Chain A
Amino acid sequence: MVGALTLYRSTIGRKIIMALTGLVGVGFTVGHMYGNLKAFSFIGGPEYFNEYAEGLRELGAPIFGHGHLLWIVRLVLLACIVLHVWAAVTLYQDSSQARNVRYAQQKTLQATLASLYMRVGGLLLFIFIIYHMAHLTWGIPGIHPNFTYGEAYNNLVYGLSSYFYLPAIFYLIAMVALGFHIYHGAWSVFQTLGLNNRTYTQPLRALSLTLAIVIAGGFAMIPLAVIFGILQPA
């Protein structure tokens, strides 16, 4: 078992770390996206949404105390992000060293945009995550116009519609990046963990595409609904 702890030394080991932490990320985004949909009145509505946001602190009750499981989840997610980014950065450094002289002309034959822009998209998502927490978790004044603790629904609607809808537009751009990242990433998880072969590769591609559309599409519904006035302050 100790051998598994030496995985980080090889490029493949770092990719396995990347795959496992990415898988946690996909699981988290599914849950987060599902929770978000409670903002819509046909599923929940403002009160239900606020109750849900507060209820997250009671996650795992009665085994876990107030906020305990939430903090465990937060720490696990933070660790996953740190490992995911660390693996990406060190692997990128190796790769850019490996191609030390660039081609004068280079053409790809079948590469998807998603696969070629994994790193750029990842960087954008990293910036987005920090912004998103400053915006709607911490509600830093200046980033969020009028943040009130406990008023999750109004914070969401005011936050997205402020500054000429620029936050909403940034959220939409980030969700496009997320969709691309998941489309290549989810399939790559299977490839990197050695669970892919020529029989499964097409079904796995289809699964990744479905995940990408459902997750990114589900998230994008919120800023779109704010822009089109479907979600109004309560």
Chain B
Amino acid sequence: MNLTLRIWRQKSKGASGQFASYPISDVSPDSSFLEMLDLLNEELMNKGEEPIAFDHDCREGICGMCSMVINGVAHGQDREPVKQVTVCQLHMRRFKDGETITIEPWRAQAFPVLRDLIVDRTSFDHIIQAGGFISVGTGSAPDANSLPIPKSKADYSMDAAACIGCGACVAACPNASAMLFTSAKIAHLNALPQGQTERYQRVVNMVTVMDHEMFGNCTNIGECAAVCPKEISLDFIANLNRDMMVASFQGVTPTVSLNGANK
């Protein structure tokens, strides 16, 4: 396959970037999108040019590092007929020979571009730090099944916990909102008995940090769930809204320090 790649190049955080075009030939239709980029980088290095910086790690769809918007869709999700696609799981056979492919990093104020296609997702860490934990007495491991949890609750919690924090939801959202991510991180703890102690404090703290990190707000468009490689559903956002309302009526105020989270 012969392709033209239009890739965002940016030297460093805060620097101005621009698109650069790279022709690439003899791409195997069976290669993954990341392997295709490896091929391009090899060519660039042989020519003595700066290779394209992009995040990648597991290459089996579970690490959530590949922060690329391909032809206007996060992870190029629309190209594969199956759901749950990250860039490593996207194959070149889904593209037409001679096609021009535009590759951009996630675009959000909260995700500054560090270099080329690499973005800084520390803002997600700040949200998790604000409430993504439970307080339990440590010591020896508890006996299995000492705490009965209905199967439906466990499944619900697992569905939320599938979130890999890739940021595709923010990237795809027309408002750059982190509601899907935050709601999943809240729901997987709030659904379980272990998460009840801090339930409402968790919601208030995590939402406070989410707002502070300058994410946008949810307008219920649903693009986040459509690109989510782990199929996190909008249900969790409804749940977050409900917990937030209850927390407000209970008069729960944020106890989280915003110093570390400041941009």
Interface residues of A in 1-55 (CB under 8 A from B): 1-4, 6-7, 10-16
Instruction: Check A196 for interface membership: any CB of B closer than 8 A.
Output: yes
Interface size of B by CB at 8 A reads 55
Q: Mark A115-145, 1 if CB is under 8 A from B, else 0.
A: 1101000000000000000000000000000
> In the complex, which residues of chain A have a beta carbon less than 8 angstroms from the beta carbon of B210?
11
Task: Let me know if A99 and B176 touch, CB within 8 A.
Answer: yes
Contact of A95 with B216 at beta-carbon distance under 8 Å, contacts A3-B249, A104-B104, A115-B221 already known: yes
List the A residue with the shortest CB-CB distance to B213: A98
CB interface residues, A 99-122, toward B, < 8 Å: 99-112, 115-116, 118
Number of A-B contacts defined by CB within 8 Å: 160
Shortest C-beta distance, B198 to chain A (Å), equals 16
Complex contact A3–B241 (CB within 8 A): no
Q: Within the complex, what minimum Cβ distance (angstroms) separates A155 from chain B?
A: 38
Pick the residue among B71, B110, B208, B235 that contacts A107 (CB under 8 A): B71
Nearest chain A CB to B116's CB is how many angstroms away? 14
- The reply to whether A99 and B216 contact each other, CB–CB distance below 8 Å, is yes
B223's contact among A97, A99, A103, A109, by CB below 8 Å, is which? A109
Majority secondary structure, B binding face: mixed
Q: Which of B8, B226, B237, B243 contacts A191 (CB 8 A)?
A: B237
Asked whether A10 lies within 8 Å of B211 as measured between CB atoms, the reply is yes
B140 on interface, CB distance cutoff 8 Å? no
| Chain A residues closer than 8 Å to B80, beta-carbon distance | none
A197 within 8 A of B: yes
Does the CB pair A188–B107 fall under 8 Å?
no
Type the 1/0 row for B98-117, where 1 means its CB is closer than 8 Å to any CB of A: 00001010011110000000
Which residue of chain B has the shortest Cβ distance to A14 in the bound complex?
A: B217
B34-42, B57-65, B127-135, B250-258: which lies at the A interface?
A: B250-258
Partner of B245, one of A96, A107, A194: A194
Q: Which residues of A contact B78 (CB under 8 A)?
A: 107, 109
A14 to B216, CA, bound (A): 12
Whether B217 lies near A95 (C-beta < 8 A) is: yes
B11 on the interface (CB 8 Å rule)? Answer: no
Closest chain-B Cβ to A42's Cβ sits at a distance in Å of 39
Q: How far is the CB of A152 from chain B (nearest CB, A)?
A: 37
Q: Would you call A115 and B222 a contact (CB within 8 A)?
A: yes
Q: Which residues of B contact A91 (CB under 8 A)?
A: 217, 219
Q: A12-B217, A198-B235 are in contact. List 11 more A-B contacts (CB 8 A).
A: A4-B249, A11-B216, A12-B218, A13-B244, A14-B217, A94-B217, A97-B216, A106-B72, A109-B73, A109-B226, A192-B238
27 contacts between A and B (CB under 8 A): A3-B247, A4-B249, A7-B248, A11-B216, A11-B218, A94-B216, A95-B176, A95-B216, A95-B219, A97-B214, A99-B107, A99-B216, A100-B107, A100-B108, A104-B19, A105-B72, A105-B102, A105-B104, A110-B223, A115-B219, A188-B219, A188-B220, A192-B238, A194-B244, A196-B234, A196-B238, A198-B235
